[in-house]
Every structure is written in structure tokens, then in C-alpha cells.
Amino acid sequence: EAGVTQFPSHSVIEKGQTVTLRCDPISGHDNLYWYRRVMGKEIKFLLHFVKESKQDESGMPNNRFLAERTGGTYSTLKVQPAELEDSGVYFCASSQDLPGQGARSPLHFGNGTRLTVT
Amino acid sequence: GDSVTQMEGPVTLSEEAFLTINCTYTATGYPSLFWYVQYPGEGLQLLLKATKADDKGSNKGFEATYRKETTSFHLEKGSVQVSDSAVYFCALKGRGSTLGRLYFGRGTQLTVWP
């Protein structure tokens, strides 16, 4: 099966510009997550979609970040306007809850998008 | 709140050396614990996991034991290979947390020289 795919792999933009990251989860996976790793720091949770609905967006840093998942398939994460501190690697992950596995459903991660804001 | 602390890197070893990467956690209750690995140019991959105290996760020669008394989940491998060069992340999922919401450490870069 195809894995989680993220586009672009790299993006370099200037402060104040807008960038949109895209994530295509594994087909049939209802759960989609965005994470971010700022250079040298922890990978931090941003938000979680179940199909097209935001289940948990408590990790979104501020209102310059907007995530969508129209139709419950792919997701986009827009940063507008970008700031220097937004630089980092943005990971997307997906999973499918399986009967009886509960909390043990594995996450499948994409390769990430490296965002550099100059 | 829930958090993970792992040893600072980078770690540089010769092939066949013994590896330990320390990981300790803070969480209420009994979290599930994980080690993820990121090889160059790739995404995060689950390396191993443990869901309850005294469980030992193992995969590809790596092992980690869930130690509740020391709140630790140290990663070990008896003989590393060049192909093990990667970034290793310790992570936890808190009991009752949103499914898939993980708390990660900062990652430890491992480089193995032939």
C-alpha cells in the first residue's frame, strides 16, 4: 500500500508570505495528525482529524495556522503569514482504528515537509 | 503534564559497539511507551513499543524495557551497524489521551562508523 505522502518535501519562504503544506494519508485511514519539530526540539502534536472533523486542535500554536481536511481525505496546513519561528519539519501521520486494538493502533508517518522561513 | 526526556546527542559509535540511549518520562497513570526511528530522508517509523510495566519491546536487535519504578524506557542494542545511523525518538501516549496523540523527546542522532 502507498504510505503517507507529504508535499512539498522542502519549502523556503520569506517572512510574511503564505505557505500551504499538504498531506495524503493512507487510503481508508480516518485519523490524520499533524506534528511539528522545531530545530533541535521535541516533535510536538498540532492537531488531529477524524475524517473531516477536528477532534483535537489544542496543539495549534496560534491563529496563523489553519488546517483543513475537506471530504475527509487529504489535509492541508496553511501558515499565513509565516514567521521565522515557524521554521521546522512538519510531519503528518495517519491511522485506522481497528476493532479490539484501541490505543494500540499504529501511526504511519510521512517523510515530513521541511519549512524554512527567512 | 506528560513529557519525555531523552539523552542529548549526537552519539557516535564504531560498528559492533554497544548502544544505550536513555529515556525517562513523566506521566499520570500508566502510559504506553514507544521508540521511533527516522532514517535519513525518510519519515518516522515505529521501532518498538511497550504498553505496560515490565514489558520489553524488541525489534531489529533493539530492546527497551518499561520500568515503572524508574519511569524509564532506555533503548539498547548489543552490536550496532552502520545501517543503524538515524535519529531515535522516545515517545509516550498518556492513558486516556487522544488516540494517536504522542509526546516525543528531542531525538538522539546516532552515527555508526565502520
Average pLDDT for chain B:
93
Bridge partners, residue A49, by sequence: A32, A54
**Which residues of chain B have a Cβ shorter than 8 Å from any chain A Cβ?**
4, 32, 36, 41-46, 51, 89, 91, 93, 98-107
Q: Could you give the CA distance from residue B49 to residue B72 in angstroms, rounded to a whole number? A: 13
pLDDT band for A46, please (50, 70, 90 cuts). Answer: very high
CA–CA separation, A44 vs A80, rounded Å? 20
Closest CA to A48 of A25, A19, A79, A18: A25
pLDDT at residue number B94: 78
Q: Is the pLDDT of residue B106 over 60?
A: yes
CA distances from A13 to A85, A96, B73 (A): 12, 34, 39
Residue A78 CB neighbours (<10 A):
15
Digit-coded pLDDT (tens) for A105-114: 678 999 999 9
pLDDT at position B97 is 63
In this complex, the residue of A4, A42, A95 whose CB is nearest that of residue B104 is: A42
List of chain A residues whose C-beta atoms are within 8 Å of the C-beta of residue B101 = 33, 45, 48, 56
> Which one-letter DSSP state was computed for residue B7?
-
CB A19 within 8 A of CB A81: no
User: Is A18 in a helix, a strand, or coil?
Assistant: coil
Distance from CA of A3 to the nearest CA of B (A): 10
Predicted confidence at residue A44, as pLDDT, reads 95
Q: Which residues of A touch B103 (CB under 8 A)?
A: 42, 45
Higher pLDDT, residue A98 or B78: B78
Q: How many interface pairs between A and B have CB atoms less than 8 angstroms apart?
A: 63
For cell 499504529, the residue is A106
Q: What's the average model confidence in pLDDT over A67-72?
A: 92
How high is the pLDDT of residue A104? Answer: 47
Asked which of A10-19, A62-71, A79-88, B98-107 is least confident by mean pLDDT, the reply is: B98-107
Edge-to-edge strands, sheet with A5-7: A5-7, A19-24, A75-79, A65-68
Between residues A109 and A102, the one the model is more confident about: A109
Interchain CB distance below 8 Å, B99 and A4:
no
User: Is the pLDDT score of A48 beyond 60?
Assistant: yes
Confidence at A37, pLDDT banded by 50, 70, 90: very high
Does A97 contact B99 at a Cβ distance shorter than 8 Å?
yes
Q: CA nearest B50 in A: which residue?
A: A104
**Which residues from chain A sit within 8 angstroms of residue B59, using beta carbons?**
none
* Residues of chain A found within 8 Å of residue B91, distances taken between Cβ atoms: 43
3-class secondary structure for A37-98?
ECCCCCEEEEEEEECCEEEECCCCCCCCEEEECHHHCCEEEEECCCCHHHCEEEEEEEECCC
Q: What is the mean pLDDT of chain A?
A: 91
pLDDT tops 90 at residue A88: yes
**Rounded to 5°, angle at Cα B71 from B66 and B74:** 55
pLDDT at residue B91 tops 70 = yes
